[in-house]
Amino acid sequence: MSKSILQFIPLLMILTYSCEFNKLFYSPIKIPKKAKGETIVNPKTNDSTIIKFSSENHQPLFLKTYKDTIDLGFQIESVVFKSESGNKLNGWILKNNNNIIYPITIFHLHGNGGNLFSQYQLISKLVGKEFQVFMFDYSGYGFSDGNPTRKNLKDDALSALKYLKNRKDLNKTKIVIYGQSLGGNLASKIANEFDVDGLVLEGAFSSHKNIAAEKIKIPFVRLLIKEGYSTTKELKKYHKPVLIIHSTDDQTVPFAMGKNNFRNANQPKYFLEIKKPHLYGTIYYTDSIANKIKKMISTSTEGQN
């Protein structure tokens, strides 16, 4: 084998492994379009929830058995919209049962795993604290078309925000992006490209390269990871209210990354140190998080008057 060919082997290896490593950031659970239902089992209690779908918008109905409907304490409106990536995406709008439109809408960007049917539990408690929540599945997750890539996720999030802004019932509300883990990294980028009123990051890593180096203990792993956009760099450019939430018990994204994100954020900024596992903030600290979001938005609004 000639020397000229040999010198390209390391480059080919880097390119090959780089593609594989970057796929590790996404763990979607896809649902076939023709699916009539699925069962979610709570690993802690072993209780199962049956979800049936109806209509072209995949409207969910939650059941304990095929006869007993579960009252979630809020409404879900399932919608389908098109992303700039060309993929059809499935989203949910979580609203209170009294059809009241509250002043603040939470735009939720979920983490790297599962789909809406597992992720909604990590944000839905905020509906009971006088917010409505809009969340959606990225390309390749749940009922959403396509495959998850760095570009597709960015296009998906921007398209979802445009859809939200075009809804007559929600377009006059304040919009706060709430990104969790991978969704936090994405949220920091989107907040600089779309006019929103606030940003919340929970359990977000500081950059793709940093979290890869933390999790994959092989030499030169940073060379194999495509950055695209990093949370810390994006926060340096963001100048509206930001709340950083991170748990000292987080075994997925180190607490130090949350502190680093906070150091790189501009004022007005707030930090909420919590306990409990990765992304359990809204489950165990619902009141604290809700109050901080309302305070940072009201303070920002007062400053504009």
Query: Domains of the chain by range and CATH?
Result: 3-30+72-304 (3.40.50.1820), 31-71 (no CATH)
Phi then psi dihedrals of residue 175, to 5 deg: -115, 125
Q: E strand or H helix at 222, and its extent?
A: helix 221-224
* CA quadruple 22, 26, 27, 31: dihedral sign: negative
Give 294's contacts (C-beta < 8 A, 6+ positions apart).
104, 130
SS3 string of 54-86? ECCCCEEEEECCCCCECCCCCEEEEEEEECCCC
Model confidence band, residue 299 (pLDDT cutoffs 50, 70, 90): confident
End-to-end CA distance of the chain: 72
pLDDT(71) > 80: yes
Helix, coil or strand: residue 111: coil
List pLDDT tens digits, range 11-20: 333 333 444 4
Residue 66 is predicted with a pLDDT of 62
List pLDDT tens digits, range 99-134: 999 999 999 999 999 999 989 999 999 999 999 999
Whether the model clears a pTM of 0.85, i.e. scores above it, the answer is yes
